[in-house]
Homo-oligomer: A and B are copies of this chain.
Amino acid sequence: MPDKIPTPGSPVRGSKTGKPIMALFDLLGRSWALGVIWQLSNGPKTFRDLQSACEGVSPTVLNRRLKELKASAIVAHDGNGYHLTDTGKALFSLLQPFGPWAIDWAKTLEERDTLPDA
């Protein structure tokens, strides 16, 4: 059984309690999970579109993430490709503020590293 999918209510990687927030953190704490959601917020994408949008993430990993996100009702797949479900869109709306925050964060780090003496 090589794949365990994080689900609230059952133990997952690192979390034995299955508390929803821990299951969510486990799900999102895997490589490219957040990136895939971020990319899909711009509309549906095919598997290969997603792959190139995510800087060439390997199909192995991409497929695993998509399976997990589908099992978690965050993404779905139809004739137009992969897309966010309503649940996924709601999650993205929480994620969106991370964009501007990351830019400020980058500035903060840059300043800190440019002025090593405080």
Contact = CB atoms under 8 A, between A and B. Distances in A.
A24 B98 contact: yes
A54 B26 CA distance: 12
Contact of A29 (B16, B17, B32, B72): B32
Contact of A13 (B16, B17, B31, B97): B31
A55 B17 contact: yes
Interface in A13-43: 13-17, 20-26, 28-35, 38
A76 interface: no
B32 A98 contact: no
Contact of A8 (B23, B91, B102): B102
Given A20-B106, A23-B106, A28-B28, 17 more contacts: A8-B102, A8-B105, A8-B106, A8-B109, A14-B32, A15-B35, A15-B55, A20-B103, A21-B102, A22-B35, A25-B34, A25-B38, A28-B29, A29-B35, A87-B105, A87-B108, A94-B97
